[in-house]
Amino acid sequence: MKAIRLEQPRQLEFVNIDEPAAPGPGEVLVRTHRMGVCGTDTSGYLGKFPFFRYPRIPGHELGVEVLAVGAGVQGLQPGDRCSVEPYMNCGRCYACRRGQGNCCTTLNVIGVMVDGGLCERFLIRADKLHRSEQLDYEQLALVETLAIGCHACDRGAAVSGEHVLIIGAGPIGLATLEFTRLTGAKITVMDMVPQRLEFVRRTYGIESTVLSKGDGTELQALQEITAGDLFAVVTDATGHRGSMSTAFRFCAHTGTLVYVGITTEEISFTHPTLHRPEITLKASRNALPKDFRRIIQLIESGTIDTKPWITHRVPFAQVPSEFESFTKPDSGVLKAMIDVSAV
């Protein structure tokens, strides 16, 4: 069976792997049709993602088809189209017992810690599949990305009328934007890439955008937007040490800062920066099952339109030669989609 494996940073290779076994109890055999490429994949490719283990078959943003189900599986049958919830939690640890399997102490994310979906077929737990009769495979592959933003928005807990700043207009920042819009908050988006800000204005009608030049001048612009108050919620989706270290400056007193981006580097700030304005600092990791169900319903109802998201499409055979370009902001890539069914 054909697959593509990341042997080490910047080395993607075509490989032949064993066919998966017949699904056991609670398992499902699926065929990958589409895989979305996200920051986790590109960071793993560059050797910059803290949880990535090599060699690894990537792929966690997936639209799949059910081929066969194991004993005891209910609600799924061959031919069903599904999105994959890629977080393999234990169900027993403290976090899992609290209903927060996204923070399981032994969590394995497929395509990151264990092999993922950049292959023809694979086995997965039935409880990690979310079916839809209406969505196509590309839409289903986008659900996981949107779920990250959904959870980050929930962590920030923005309310209608408050000022919210989203730093970073890549896929995770845009996913956070999708759900922050639904709260009725006043949204400002900041990024260093003018084309991304233009996309935000054109696609979402967000008029309040700030181009960050990395020289500290953005603070004045943000103060003017908020009449000096700054932001009740700041979500940093950059995964950049410098941005994450200085994002406190943009929080209102008693505001909340959410880190949804990930970096392998140390983040430093003086304690008074956090203490004096009594800022609440939160991490946002992965997503919850309820997020996947909610997002599928929102796409089905037309509340979320996924069409603008996909800027690049690539067949399976061209992935090793094309992947490097997905790491470069000047390529204009927002979301690249791999057609795995074209094996």
Per-residue pLDDT at 253? 98
Per-residue pLDDT at 263? 87
Report residue 9 CA to chain centroid gap: 21
Per-residue pLDDT at 175? 97
Q: In sequence order, what DSSP letters do the residues of 76-137 get, joined into one string?
A: --TT-EEEE--EE--S-SHHHHTT-GGG-TT-EEBTTTB--SSBSEEEEEGGGEEE-SS--H
Determine the Cα–Cα distance for residues 335 and 206; give it in Å rounded to an integer. Answer: 20
CATH code: domain 2-131+306-342 is 3.90.180.10
Per-residue pLDDT at 266? 92
Per-residue pLDDT at 133? 97
| Residue 151, φ and ψ in degrees, nearest 5 | -65, -40
Structure tokens at 35: 């895989």
Report whether the peptide linkage leading into residue 55 is cis, meaning its omega lies within 30 degrees of zero: yes
Per-residue pLDDT at 214? 80
Write the CB contacts of 246 (distance below 8 Å, at least 6 apart in sequence). 269
Per-residue pLDDT at 146? 98
Q: Please classify residue 324 by burial: count the beta carbons closer than 10 Å to its beta carbon, then call 0-12 exposed, 13-18 middle and 19+ buried.
A: middle
The full set of domain ranges for the chain reads 2-131+306-342, 152-283
Q: Give the chain's residues under pLDDT 50.
A: none
* Cα dihedral: 104, 108, 112, 117 (round 10): -120
Kindly give the residue spans of alpha helices, DSSP state H, lying in the chain.
Answer: 39-46, 94-97, 137-156, 171-181, 194-204, 218-225, 241-246, 271-275, 289-301, 319-322
Of 108, 116, 124, the residue nearest 70 (C-alpha):
124
CATH code: domain 152-283 is 3.40.50.720
Structure tokens at 72: 């005891």
Per-residue pLDDT at 216? 81
Q: What is the pLDDT of residues 76-106, one digit of tens each?
A: 999 999 999 999 999 999 999 999 999 999 9
